[in-house]
Amino acid sequence: MHRSLPLLSLCLAVPALVAAPPKVEPHGLDLTGMDRTVAPGDDFFAYANGAWVKRTEIPADRGSFGVGHEVADLTDKRVAALIKSAAASKAPADSDLRKIGDCYTSFMNEKAIEAKGLSPLKPTFLAIGAIQDRKGLARYLGTTLRADVDVLNATNYHTENLFGLWVAQDLDEPTRYAPFLLQGGLGMPERSYYLDPSAGMAAVRTQYNTHVAAMLKLAGLSNVLTRAAAVVELESRMAKAHLGREESGDVQKGNNHWTRAEFGTKAPGLDWEAFFAAADLKQPEVFVVWQPGAVTGLSALTAEVPLDTWKDYLTFHAMQHWARVLPKAVADQSFAFYGKVLSGATQPRDRWKYGVDLTNQALGEAVGRAYVAKYFPPAEKARAERMVANITAAFRVRIEHLDWMSPETKAKALAKLAALKVGVGYPDHWRDYRALKIVAGDAFGNAQRAERFEYQRNLRKLGRPIDRTEWVMNPQLVNAVNLPVMNALNFPAAILQPPYFDPKRPMVMDYGAIGAVIGHEISHSFDDSGSLFDATGKLSNWWTPEDLKHFQASADQLVKQFDAYEPFPGLHIKGRQTLGENIADVAGLAAAYDAYRLSLDGKEAPVVQGLTGDQQFFLSYAQSWREKTREPLLRQQILTDGHAPASFRPYTVRNLDAWYPAFQVKPGQKLYLAPADRVKIW
């Protein structure tokens, strides 16, 4: 979500959307997608992908399209077939298969949803209407607190709950879980959408105001233009209290332990005891407050802003949050802003795709268990584990041979690498869904209960031993993750398939594609945030002063490199905001390259498709970031995302010495860096 907490680092952010993919060679590089009129040293992304970009149209139902979407397309079709099979089966009542089928078919029953109208929201509207004082407001806000996961909104736009909760390993005491409290409350992606004075952002705000008014009208309210303006003004005041994306990514600034008793003095305004009681947080005595200034500012607003405005705010966000399981008029209005305005899409996705998303969110590991049984054979798991082992070994060698790092720091870095917990394909233990009630024909109730189930599951961690085997991703998700606090990695089965990982093509291509992803995630344990944690996950400085100074200087060099990239006139990539991902790209690609070379035992890879081994490696990397994005979504990514846009990530190659002779890159070309300017952090 946009309540950013750098305790997990994603390598990709690919929505599961379907389109007819362009034709590529089934096993190998897409030579027809290259643009050989572009010099590799001027624009390596265009050289590798330029012809594909020119011939590819972004489908109408999305803001971007690329190779990750193609893989997600195939995965979603497979998952949909599994779900429909579960729905058609005569599985026992309350079994996972029955729940999967009932969850999906209930969502697909549009007639039943239309017939119910807004009646599923009646208890919510009554609860909002019953707010008579500030204590009542605090109680209601407490009931909306949820784990930092969103069952309905896979695009993660909405942070409509005033605060978010993340239950994770305590940064100071890694043997226990802690409740992390995060800033929230905004309906638009990030504070700049409210505060940026540019004409473009002003236009978005006008459209958002129109959207809020339309939702309030659908909820049956009158005088909606005035009320909507008050709601947007409230959110604008929230935005002023929020920390920006870059500052929220600072782990050391975020590690603030507040006792329960301190909230009343450090963040006056909200009745915290009423809030915590309603949120089922009666036991924890200490919380980690990630953005203390924001918590203080948001709390003050609960006392300053009229209750009627708060009620309208809560009504709007209730409509928006549950739009997908409400009548079509509500869902269409939600798409009119979040789809068209913020992403540039012109039509909604097919309903079955939303149904797959919803089922994956509600019963993700139950669906994943069926998915891996059919589509992720043990041989592919073993092959992926071998590659992980090879790249980890290459990373170890890189640490051992760092000429700038002291033996003391090296020993601690190697200890952290040795303690890394890597999960490949799927978790060691599957999640238990027996307590989740799914009712046939009740799409709204199923979504609501699934969200509550996830929240309670997180709360139950408090007071229990740390489980480093827990996964935060479903096996059927095309993505990967590093959990710096847990010192653990997840590589879901869905990303371990062609074209990222393909047994029918030369292994060097796999090293350039999925190998770079694996190296990237390993490297996150040693990026600007990950390097602050020791082998146990404790936030501690394990660096000598000289080593840390060198590391930070190299990081600053990479910040400047990305600050110079300018996707739109006057709008640059934020090098500091994307630093962790950029460090992981550089170090991960270097480790994957070393692993590929070591796998050949000193020999050269055979020439394939007219390309040398090194050319295959680097082109595989560049084509793995093949993506085309509409302007509204790209601007949003630049403002809010910790990742650089996909089309700039292939530029990472300019920091590896081997790329230069492979493509005869010369001084004077745009991507050329003198040897001293090439960033080598790990």
Specify the higher pLDDT residue, 2 or 473: 473
Q: What is residue 432's predicted lDDT score, i.e. its pLDDT? A: 97
Order of strands across the sheet with 9-10? 9-10, 481-483, 488-492, 421-425
Using 50, 70 and 90 to split pLDDT, how confident is the model at 527? Answer: confident
Residue 666, pLDDT > 60, answer yes
Across residues 59-73, what is the average pLDDT?
A: 95
The residue count for the chain: 682
Burial 308-322 (b: 16+ CB within 10 A, else e): ebbbbbbbbbbbbbb
Q: Sorting pLDDT into bands at 50, 70 and 90, what band is 310?
A: very high
Could you tell me if 399 and 414 are in contact, meaning their C-beta atoms sit under 8 angstroms apart? yes
pLDDT in tens, 583-626: 999 999 999 999 999 999 999 999 999 999 999 999 999 999 99
The span from the CA of 215 to the CA of 318, in Å, is 10
Please write the tens of the pLDDT for every residue from 120-144: 999 999 999 999 999 999 999 999 9
Predicted local distance difference test score (pLDDT) of residue 362: 97
The upper half-sphere exposure of residue 680, i.e. CA atoms within 13 Å in the direction of its Cβ, equals: 18
| Lookup result for tokens 């149904």 | 355
Average pLDDT, the chain: 93
What CATH fold (topology level) applies to the domain 109-348? Neutral endopeptidase; domain 2 (1.10.1380)
Report the percentage of the chain scoring pLDDT > 90: 88
In this prediction, residue 246 has a pLDDT band, given cuts at 50, 70 and 90, of: confident
Q: How confident is the model at residue 159 (pLDDT cuts 50, 70, 90)?
A: low
pLDDT of residue 90: 85
- Could you give the C-alpha distances from 1 to 158, 183, 530, in angstroms and in order? 8, 11, 19
Pairwise CA distance, residues 677 & 682, whole Å: 15
Identify the pLDDT of residue 191: 95
Read off the pLDDT of residues 78-135 as tens digits, 9 standing for 90 and up: 999 999 999 998 899 999 999 999 999 999 999 999 999 999 999 999 999 999 999 9
- pLDDT score for 9: 57
Q: How confident is the model over 264-280, as a mean pLDDT? A: 98
Classify residue 185 as left (phi > 0), alpha (psi -120 to 50) or beta: left
155: pLDDT strictly greater than 80: no
**Across 12-34, average pLDDT:** 59
pLDDT tens digits, one per residue of 195-244: 999 999 999 999 999 999 999 999 999 999 999 999 999 999 999 999 99
Q: Which amino acid is it at 666?
A: K
Residue spans per domain, the chain:
28-82+354-429+469-677, 109-348
Of the candidates 483, 372, 377, 375, the one whose C-alpha atom is nearest the C-alpha of residue 426 is 372
Give the orientation angle of helix 514-524 with respect to helix 579-599, to 10 degrees. 130
Q: What architecture is domain 28-82+354-429+469-677? A: 3-Layer(aba) Sandwich (3.40)
Q: pLDDT tens, 547-563?
A: 999 999 999 999 999 99
Give the single-character DSSP code of 531.
Answer: G
At 392-432, the pLDDT tens digits run 999 999 999 999 999 999 999 999 999 999 999 999 999 99
> Which of 245, 239, 274 has the alpha carbon at shortest distance from 260?
274
